[in-house]
Amino acid sequence: MTGNNDKRMAQAASAGRGISRRDVLIRAGVGAAAVGAPGLFGLRQAMAATNAGFDLAAARKEGPVVIWHADQEADVVEFLKIFTKKTGIATVQQRLLPGAALPKLMAELRTGATDVDVYDTSDAGLMEQLRKQGHLLRYESPELAAYAPQYKSNPVGFWAAYYINIGTIMYDPRHVQPDTAPKTWLDLLDSKWKGQVGFQNASAGTQYTWWYLLKDILPKDYWDRLAAQKPRAYSSSTQIVTDIHNGNLKIGGKVSSFQYVKSKRLKEPIEVVFPPEGAPAQSQVVGIIGATKRPNAAKAYVNFLLSQEGQQSWNEIQGSPSARTDVNYPGQPDMSKVKIIVPTNMDDYALTANHAKFVKLWNKITGF
């Protein structure tokens, strides 16, 4: 029954007219707004709740702030150089997809050996779990005033969206003719694409969101038929696009929309398809780990990332829409007629059982 309700809610959120960039931003944040009012959180959450500001001089003395993320590593490195130049705070970054980051973090928290300060994740459901379990530090950055409620945790201060990620189909017209290219998610099942469709692996939060939002829209046998296509699994959408451009892969079955911007900047031919069944979208969110050893540096990082200057820098580097309405840059694909679908039931979206079901199914589909 829940699945049917979620399907109707997702369809209702995306049905009807073409949408503007502002509509995309509003809809991509719906999931965050759907979280219920705060309940009783337990001692760990209370201990992790602090709205104290940060001391920049102290932040510089705390040592390198440690950031885990699921983004393209080169993008993060470039952004962190800007952050360090701006603040004088050194950084250490590690790329960990959600499927790898959560077990590692939980193991380290159990032993008290964690060194991570900030987590930038592609899985808002995972971050919401961490909030409920009391593993996030509450910090109400003054920059949060520029963000609509749907882009912030409830209660405010535990996490916030630092960009919007939209899943698309992509191909290189040098290797695939536009008139034969897939136009819908169902077109990926055409036998001519067997062994030639690439997705991210089960550790990717964006891949989970893609499955979660389409599982009640596509036919029930879609997943068995997709498995028969022998799709390839990649650890990042950059790897997918690289293989598309060099001709080793025909179709990107689910590629983050920012790859379109990146390819265009490199003057590489690329075509993007927003299937009519709906293009899954999600908020990528940042939060401070409650056990942080460098709270001032962590707060300084979150402040800069969420600021207008930080968002302009990050999204110009990375190529996705910002959740701030005062940040814009050229080169994004036309989304005026795109049907965007988003998670509307965060409790269901964040369920461990749903994640486990996805991982088992996706590993089977991709041959892991």
Q: How far apart are CA 34 and CA 39, in angstroms?
A: 14
102's CB contacts (< 8 A; 6+ apart) are 126
Helical (H) or strand (E) element with 291: none
The CATH number given to 165-281+338-362 is 3.40.190.10
Reported as a single tens digit per residue, the pLDDT across 158-213 is: 999 999 889 999 999 999 999 999 999 999 999 999 999 999 999 998 999 999 99
What pLDDT sits at residue 327? 87
Min mean pLDDT across 95-104, 152-161, 241-250, 254-263 is at 95-104
Helix (H, G, I), strand (E, B) or coil at 36: coil
Please check the confidence at residue 134 and state whether its pLDDT lies above 90.
yes
Name residue, tokens 């949060």: 144
Helix (H, G, I), strand (E, B) or coil at 77: helix
What pLDDT sits at residue 12? 33
Task: Tell me what the mean pLDDT of segment 70-92 comes to.
Answer: 96
- Integer CA distances (angstroms), 38 to 41, 131, 282, 331, in order: 8, 11, 22, 40
**CB-count burial class (<10 Å; 0-12, 13-18, 19+) for 156:** middle
What pLDDT sits at residue 45? 43
Among residues of the chain, what percentage have pLDDT more than 90? 65
**CB-count burial class (<10 Å; 0-12, 13-18, 19+) for 61:** exposed
The structure tokens listed for 57 are 């001089």
Reported as a single tens digit per residue, the pLDDT across 253-307 is: 999 999 999 999 999 999 999 999 999 988 899 999 999 999 999 999 999 999 9
Helix (H, G, I), strand (E, B) or coil at 158: coil
Among candidate residues 197, 169, 189, 223, the one with its CA nearest the CA of residue 358: 223
What pLDDT sits at residue 122? 81
What pLDDT sits at residue 51? 62
Instruction: Enumerate the CATH 3.40.190.10 domain ranges in the chain, comma separated.
Output: 32-164+282-318, 165-281+338-362
What pLDDT sits at residue 11? 37
What pLDDT sits at residue 5? 38
Q: How far apart are CA 363 and CA 194, in angstroms?
A: 17
What pLDDT sits at residue 46? 36
CATH class, 32-164+282-318 region: alpha beta
Q: How far apart are CA 340 and CA 27, in angstroms?
A: 7
Among residues of the chain, what percentage have pLDDT more than 70? 86
Q: How confident is the model at residue 149 (pLDDT cuts 50, 70, 90)?
A: confident
DSSP for 226-285 reads HHHT--EEES-HHHHHHHHHHTS-SEEEEEETHHHHHHHHTT---EEE--TT-EEEEEEE
Average pLDDT, the chain: 86
Q: How far apart are CA 242 and CA 308, in angstroms?
A: 31
Global pTM? 0.73
What pLDDT sits at residue 10? 38
Name residue, tokens 């589909």: 365
Q: What b/e string do you get for 75-102 counting C-beta neighbours within 10 Å, with b at 16 or more? A: bbeebbeebeeebebebebebbbbbebb
Q: How far apart are CA 206 and CA 128, in angstroms?
A: 15
What pLDDT sits at residue 40? 34
Please check the confidence at residue 145 and state whether its pLDDT lies above 60.
yes
What pLDDT sits at residue 50? 58
Reported as a single tens digit per residue, the pLDDT across 14-59 is: 333 333 444 444 445 444 333 333 333 333 443 444 566 889 999 9
Name the residue with higher pLDDT: 50 or 222. 222
What pLDDT sits at residue 126? 86
Q: What b/e string do you get for 174-204 counting C-beta neighbours within 10 Å, with b at 16 or more? A: ebbeeeebbeebebbbeeebeebbbbbbbbb
Any idea how long the chain is?
Answer: 368
Task: Tell me what the mean pLDDT of segment 356-367 comes to.
Answer: 96
Reported as a single tens digit per residue, the pLDDT across 109-123 is: 999 899 999 999 988
Q: How far apart are CA 243 and CA 183, in angstroms?
A: 20
Q: How far apart are CA 62 and CA 26, in angstroms?
A: 37
Q: How far apart are CA 323 and CA 59, in angstroms?
A: 27
Among candidate residues 337, 239, 343, 333, the one with its CA nearest the CA of residue 30: 343
Task: Tell me what the mean pLDDT of segment 321-347 comes to.
Answer: 82
Q: How confident is the model at residue 329 (pLDDT cuts 50, 70, 90)?
A: confident
Please check the confidence at residue 4 and state whether its pLDDT lies above 90.
no
